[in-house]
Amino acid sequence: MSFRKDRLVVSVLAVSLLFFLNVQAQDKNIALNKPVSANSGDPKYPVKNVVDGKISRNSKWVASTNRAPHILEIDLQKYYIINEIRVHSGIIDSEKRPDEMSQAAGFWSLKNFKLQYWDDANWSDFPKSEVLENRLTNAVFKFSPSVTTFKVRLICDDGEPVNIMEIEVMGREALNMPAPPVVGSEIRKAPAFKGSRKASVTVSNKEAGKSM
């Protein structure tokens, strides 16, 4: 009897694992080539670059102002179940020039930002997606339970012209959902920054997770 119970437990676990792996395998970058907008942008590095599938300093969005907040919004055009978001910013190691090698990790990366989704009425924060003093070129956020939405956005509070190489939104289409309503963007263009573009780092004693 005990042997049969053990076999039943193993079978259930195996089925659960296969289901989980099948669901994860269906996930893809649903932000790829989707409409995207920002409240500022350098004409040489337009915002469309963040959804072109290229993680490179040569294909990035650069804000044209040093005034926070920097806001970037992606319209997924359909309801999707989102499990993960990856934010690639700064300069990846393989593309650093010799004179850039001595800079601290994440020197050019987004420092202070959070991720939000449209909940059909308001912008809500993705769970545990607010970051202070980031030092990663690839910041990964996983969501359990998943979040279902058709619009996502990033808000950055850095006081400098920031850059993002790519934003990957990993998920799958939510079946049996109606077409999303037409929601106008709240993004307002910020005045262009005409000063120096030299990078600066602000050291803060704030703890990660506090509200901006």
pLDDT tens string 106-163: 999 999 999 999 999 999 999 999 999 999 999 999 999 999 999 999 999 999 999 9
Is there a contact between 162 and 70 (Cβ–Cβ < 8 Å)? yes
Q: Which two tokens stand for residue 92?
A: 């990846």
φ, ψ for residue 138, nearest 5 deg:
-130, 95
For residue range 24-60, what is the model confidence (pLDDT) as tens digits?
Answer: 558 999 999 999 999 999 999 999 999 999 999 999 9
Is there a contact between 168 and 40 (Cβ–Cβ < 8 Å)? no
pLDDT at 207: 41
Please give the DSSP secondary-structure letter assigned to residue 38. E
Is there a contact between 157 and 68 (Cβ–Cβ < 8 Å)? yes
Is there a contact between 129 and 208 (Cβ–Cβ < 8 Å)? no
Please give the DSSP secondary-structure letter assigned to residue 203. -
> What predicted TM-score, i.e. pTM, was given to this entire model?
0.78
Is there a contact between 82 and 169 (Cβ–Cβ < 8 Å)? yes
CA dist., res. 109 & res. 107, Å (int): 6
φ, ψ for residue 93, nearest 5 deg:
-55, -40
CB count within 10 Å of CB 180 equals 16
Q: Which two tokens stand for residue 164?
A: 């993002």
